[in-house]
Amino acid sequence: MTHAIVVMGVSGCGKTTVGRALAETLNCKFYDADDFHPPENITKMSSGIPLNDKDRQPWLENLRDLIAEHIKQGRGLVLACSALKKRYRNLLREGNTGLQFVYLQGDFELILQRMMAREGHYMQADMLQSQFDVLEPPSAQEAINIRIDQSLSDIVQHIMDKMIK
């Protein structure tokens, strides 16, 4: 089966790390949604200004199309994308039957500690609260919900165990 998976959650929860490990396990392509932001979005976030829905719309549409192209060609992918709001996830799902979400859950303090240890990332730690403020956590029916306070190998194994095969 071709897998199309979005690993989601707030900045600093491990989307890229988990996404890469999951893609390697599934032998498919990994993408980081941050790499698809237009320069004006990166400038805004680097200045400490959170993006609004208007900023995100074309970015999310491009990601939806990327997913659709992979599904159409029968190629798997894992995409690390915050997808904090239900409407963002719904937009990514449009026309993408079988798309699965994996929600990486962690508390504010743990994620803040991780962000403070990061270097060279444009997302500033003080913007983390704004992400928690807008987060609409998916239900267990909408996503595979995984706690991040465990080892990377355990996280990947739990995802593999819960995936639609």
Q: Helix or strand or coil: residue 4?
A: strand
Spatial separation of the C-alpha atoms in residues 79 and 60, rounded to whole Å: 12
Model pTM score: 0.91
Domain positions in the chain:
4-102+118-162
Kindly report the CA angle at 87 between 86 and 89, in degrees rounded to 5?
A: 65
Give residue-wise pLDDT tens across range 113-151: 887 776 655 455 567 888 899 999 999 999 999 999 999
Report the topology of domain 4-102+118-162: Rossmann fold (3.40.50)
Average pLDDT over residues 76-91: 96
Nearest to 57 by CA among 71, 36, 79: 36
